[in-house]
Structure 1
Amino acid sequence: MDHPNFAVVAEDLVKVYGRGTSGVRALDHVSVGFERGRFTAIMGPSGSGKSSLLHCLAGLDTVTSGRVLVGGTDITTLSDRALTALRRDRIGFVFQSFNLLPQLTAERNITLPLDLAGRKADRLRLQLVVDVLGLADRLGHRPAELSGGQQQRVALARALVTKPDVVFADEPTGNLDSRSGAEVLSLLRASVSEFGQTVVMVTHDPEAAARADRVVLVADGRIVEDLRKPSAAALRSSRPSAGVR
């Protein structure tokens, strides 16, 4: 695998929860790379290992064996402090639950990672992200004053403003209605085309996955298919069956 071409690489990744005979192997020797400037979806049924893969790639969970490289840095060897700094500075996150601080305005929520790092926001970058995401007239609003779709836009802006190596999106449309969900997917797509961003999204939805350049299908903790620009219909016919771990 040619590492310079990839924003994130997993090499022979194993993740086991529990010990002994009661242990569950969530990831079973997974090796995969995610190209820079591309939108990749990781898809699979509940319990397939897709969320475990994302959490290990993002440094949110430890691995049992193998390694993960983000921008060429082996995050499995980092101290907790160094890993926290890397996640803050080089990884963007978009979660299903938005994870916005209710007491802060949209603008302050967007710049929060920079504030925590003691860095000033690049005003040109901030303005560009805000304009592309259509948030210019919402920056002074608090989360309670925003719709679900607008809150997810703020979360995406927060993920993009630091110019991360990769943005990980974990079921980003799960709490949204179909219209707002479609808008967020369009914005993830735009972040790739407008900013050259690398996006890795976990989803169980074939319609959402079909918006990606590439779809990695996971079942039983292994990658079972790797598809380029598949249609939603093709994904529905290719979906691994439920009933996996």
Structure 2
Amino acid sequence: MTTTTPSPSATSIATAARTIGLTKIFGTTDSGVTALDAVDVGIEVGRFTAIMGPSGSGKSTLMHCLAGLETPTSGQVLLGDTDLTRLSDKALTLLRRERIGFIFQSFNLLPMLTARQNVELPLTLAGRSVDRERMDRIVTVLGIQDRLGHRPSELSGGQQQRVAVARALVTGPDVLFADEPTGALDSRSSTQMLSFLRSSVREFGQTIVMVTHDPRAASYADRVLLLADGRLAGELHDPTEDSVLAAMKGLGE
């Protein structure tokens, strides 16, 4: 039996994104695999939410649907008031570029560009001007203001990591998604990454959703959503590493 608390009603919180009856089946509906089974969940504005669950629980699929990277089999996914399930592929591409940020395990920095150019790249592609005040705040919080003229090959792994975070934040996305962002990092770099993410919530009011298998990483979040067998199994508020471990044990992890 888990030690989680029940999910609050989606109407009781301000949400940046939410799902309604979200179902995702891979393969045919008769013989396919149900990754998500009628999931209702709200992502709180200006909060750091972690998604956890045993392998095969549907946590990555939930994030991909929220981010518009996967098409639901049924149900709705809303970013603010925008129903992603009603958008064309072109409209989804524009929405992801303009309203969603991503951080992946690999930093995906372009080697021929300077750190500054890498950070500003999403704005360049979107034809948007750089908000210099926001840019200055981000690079100051991340401590890379004196490294912006350097190319990735001239930066340490930790500095490259910070550039990737700055790039995700500079557009002011409605939601920033982080997919196992500490999975390829050593302990020190992992701690730095998680601290940067938490600081971006505190400093910029950023909404963050992180998929992780690491209870320590999840303890940096304000809230942990727990999935099991494609369904929401509970949640934790103000989690600690111990409370996450206990909850995961209750799910059979």
Q: Who is 2:212 aligned against? A: 203
- RMSD over aligned Cα atoms: 1.3
Query: Which residue of the other structure, out of 52, 70, 73, is the alignment partner of 1:64?
Result: 73
**What SS does the corresponding residue of 1:53 show, helix, strand or coil?**
helix
Counting aligned pairs with the same residue, the percent is 64
Give the CA deviation at 1:45: 2.4
Structure 1: unaligned runs, 5 residues or longer: none
1:103 maps to 2:112: yes
Give the CA deviation at 1:102: 1.8
**What SS does the corresponding residue of 2:43 show, helix, strand or coil?**
strand
Query: Which residue of the other structure, out of 169, 172, 177, is the alignment partner of 1:163?
Result: 172
Kindly report which structure 2 residues correspond to 1:88-127, keeping only aligned pairs within 5 A, or say none: 88-127=97-136
Give the CA deviation at 1:238: 1.1
Q: Who is 1:16 aligned against? A: 25
Could you tell me the TM-score, scaled by structure 2's length?
A: 0.92
Q: Who is 2:5 aligned against? A: none
Kindly report which structure 2 residues correspond to 1:181-196, keeping only aligned pairs within 5 A, or say none: 181-196=190-205
Tell me the distance in 2 between the aligned counterparts of 1:213 and 1:89: 25
Query: Which residue of the other structure, out of 83, 99, 119, is the alignment partner of 2:92?
Result: 83
1:40 maps to 2:49: yes
Kindly report which structure 2 residues correspond to 1:206-217, keeping only aligned pairs within 5 A, or say none: 206-217=215-226
C-alpha contact (below 8 Å) 1:39/1:199 kept by paired residues = yes
**What SS does the corresponding residue of 1:2 show, helix, strand or coil?**
helix
Q: Who is 1:55 aligned against? A: 64
Tell me the distance in 1 between the aligned counterparts of 2:111 and 2:54: 32
Tell me the distance in 2 between the aligned counterparts of 1:58 and 1:94: 12
Tell me the distance in 1 between the aligned counterparts of 2:120 and 2:252: 41
Tell me the distance in 1 between the aligned counterparts of 2:122 and 2:12: 27
1:197-237 Cα shifts (integer Å, max 9, x gaps):
10111000000001111000111111111110121111111
Could you tell me the TM-score, scaled by structure 1's length?
A: 0.95
**What SS does the corresponding residue of 2:107 show, helix, strand or coil?**
coil
Q: One-letter code of the match for 1:222?
A: R
Structure 2: unaligned runs, 5 residues or longer: 1-9
C-alpha contact (below 8 Å) 1:45/1:219 kept by paired residues = yes
Change in 2 beyond 3 A, CA 1:4/1:75 = farther
Alignment length, in residue pairs? 242
